[in-house]
């Protein structure tokens, strides 16, 4: 199997298995208990918090462990606002976790506006600036667009927000950036930053939220007061420690991996353009993460092509896996794709283990699938004509 849907999830790194086994079967104790073994687990979590914090350029006390990137987004948007009214600005191409939280804030009485993006999914800076004023209390703009890989200049956005809306909180969904590009939350100027473990070869069910020191978060889950009272629940020690081990093992190679994946993405783009007519490239390769590449066909529906490719041993996506079960036109509309291409979007997303041979296999399978679909469509069209003549007779 050729797996090219790493923006949806990644294979568990082998380093995780030791932590999962150790903290599920040997050191399985509740870190909130008072006996020695439990306190050792509490110290282990403290060490993991420090590792995740260091990877973000943050302090340990600024890291809140969550069950996912989506939960981190929910906490950021729903628990950070102290003002009971005001304007909230959210990128139009955001992940559904942020988009749907914005809709919830609208129900709660906030004036929510969606900031337009360009055709590649990058936030339109001029339109963002036009929307910023003293009434803005929260801005959420993703770091890397999960649909196209578009990279937003968060430092520039942060500077703009501070000058136009000084009381606004700035959140960014960093799920597709973390572990792929170097992230320093202090340099980026964000107040809140969401990350996820399963996008970087850690287990599903673990994520984290960076929350700048001094920023108050309301309680999201009531209970025993874990995670600074924001998210109560017995900590998922096995997943936390596996996440920690992945970061310690892999994150020092971020720059080298970035360069290698950039070459692979360029190879994919050239192969697509040299092999196929009538494709629309949705990724700006000059200003995006190389890990995510989006294009669209006007001769086949994306979901149909996904299944055709799967039958040939190649796995890709149509876009965010969180939207895969729903018919949604929000992202194509945000990108300005309104013609036949809107139904034919495909997303290829890489990990460090992918090679040019994987791309070659994908190109070959895509070509074969298109030929088969075109033959099927011609046959179906011919049969429709025969049925029409029979009905007329």
Chain segment 89-126, per-residue pLDDT in tens: 999 999 999 999 999 999 999 999 999 999 999 999 99
Segment 283-315, tens digit of pLDDT: 999 999 999 999 999 888 889 999 999 999 999
Rounded CA-CA distance 239/250 in Å is 16
Q: Is 114 helix (H, G, I), strand (E, B) or coil?
A: strand
In this prediction, residue 139 has a pLDDT band, given cuts at 50, 70 and 90, of: very high
The percent of residues above 70 in pLDDT, for the chain, comes to: 93
In this prediction, residue 381 has a pLDDT band, given cuts at 50, 70 and 90, of: low
The pTM assigned to this predicted structure is 0.93
User: Look-up: residue for tokens 């025993």?
Assistant: 224
Burial of 30 (C-beta count, 10 Å sphere; 0-12/13-18/19+): middle
User: Look-up: residue for tokens 């306190």?
Assistant: 39
Whole-number average pLDDT of the chain: 92
Count other C-beta atoms under 10 Å from residue 26's C-beta. 9
In this prediction, residue 391 has a pLDDT band, given cuts at 50, 70 and 90, of: very low
Q: Report whether pLDDT(63) > 50.
A: yes
In this prediction, residue 322 has a pLDDT band, given cuts at 50, 70 and 90, of: low
In this prediction, residue 379 has a pLDDT band, given cuts at 50, 70 and 90, of: low
Predicted pLDDT of residue 331? 84
Contact status, residue 121 vs residue 157, Cβ threshold 8 Å:
no
In this prediction, residue 264 has a pLDDT band, given cuts at 50, 70 and 90, of: very high
SS (H, E, C) 293-317: EEEEECCCCHHHHHHHHHHCCEECE
Q: What is the token pair recorded at 219?
A: 């309680």
Average pLDDT over residues 192-205: 98
Q: How far is CA 9 from CA 34, 46, 137, in A?
A: 37, 26, 33
Q: What is the token pair recorded at 382?
A: 């011919």
CA atoms within 13 A on the CB side of 365: 22
Average pLDDT over residues 265-274: 97
Average pLDDT over residues 252-258: 95
In this prediction, residue 327 has a pLDDT band, given cuts at 50, 70 and 90, of: very low
Active site residues: 322
Rounded CA-CA distance 103/382 in Å is 46
Burial of 78 (C-beta count, 10 Å sphere; 0-12/13-18/19+): middle
Q: Report whether pLDDT(386) > 60.
A: no
> Which spans in 125-169 are helix H?
125-131, 154-164
Predicted pLDDT of residue 332? 83
């Amino acid at each position: 199997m050729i797996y090219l849907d790493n923006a949806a999830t990644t294979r568990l790194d082998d380093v995780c298995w030791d932590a999962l086994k150790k903290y599920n079967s040997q050191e399985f104790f509740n870190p909130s208990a008072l006996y020695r073994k439990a306190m050792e687990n509490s110290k282990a979590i403290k060490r993991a918090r420090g590792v995740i914090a260091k990877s973000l350029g943050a302090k340990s006390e600024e890291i809140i462990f969550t069950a996912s990137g989506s939960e981190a987004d929910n906490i950021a948007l729903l628990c950070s606002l102290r003002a009971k009214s005001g304007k909230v600005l959210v990128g139009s191409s955001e992940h559904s976790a942020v988009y749907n939280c914005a809709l919830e804030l609208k129900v709660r009485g906030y004036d929510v506006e969606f900031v337009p993006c360009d055709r590649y999914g990058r936030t339109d800076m001029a339109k963002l600036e036009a929307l910023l004023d003293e009434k803005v209390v929260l801005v959420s703009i993703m770091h890397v667009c999960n649909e196209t890989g578009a990279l937003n200049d968060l430092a520039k956005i942060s500077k703009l927000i501070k000058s136009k809306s000084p009381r606004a909180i700035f959140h960014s969904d960093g799920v597709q950036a973390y572990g792929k590009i170097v992230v320093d939350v202090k340099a980026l100027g964000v107040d809140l930053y969401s990350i996820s473990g399963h996008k970087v070869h850690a287990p599903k069910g673990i994520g984290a939220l960076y929350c700048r020191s001094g920023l108050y978060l309301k309680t999201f889950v009531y209970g025993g007061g874990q995670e600074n009272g924001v998210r109560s629940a017995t900590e998922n020690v096995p997943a936390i420690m596996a996440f920690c081990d992945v970061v310690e093992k892999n994150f020092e190679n971020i720059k080298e991996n970035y360069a290698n994946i950039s070459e692979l993405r360029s190879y994919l783009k050239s192969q697509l353009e040299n092999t196929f007519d009538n494709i629309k490239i949705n990724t700006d390769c000059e200003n995006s993460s190389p890990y995510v590449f989006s294009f669209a066909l006007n001769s086949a529906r994306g979901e149909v092509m996904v299944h055709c490719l799967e039958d040939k041993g190649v796995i890709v996506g149509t876009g965010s896996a969180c939207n895969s079960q729903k018919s949604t036109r929000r992202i194509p509309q945000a990108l300005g794709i309104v013609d036949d291409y809107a139904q034919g979007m495909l997303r290829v997303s890489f990990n460090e283990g992918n090679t040019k041979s994987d791309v070659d296999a994908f190109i070959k399978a895509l070509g074969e699938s298109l030929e088969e679909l075109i033959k099927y469509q011609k046959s179906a069209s011919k049969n429709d004509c025969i049925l029409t003549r029979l009905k007329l007779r």
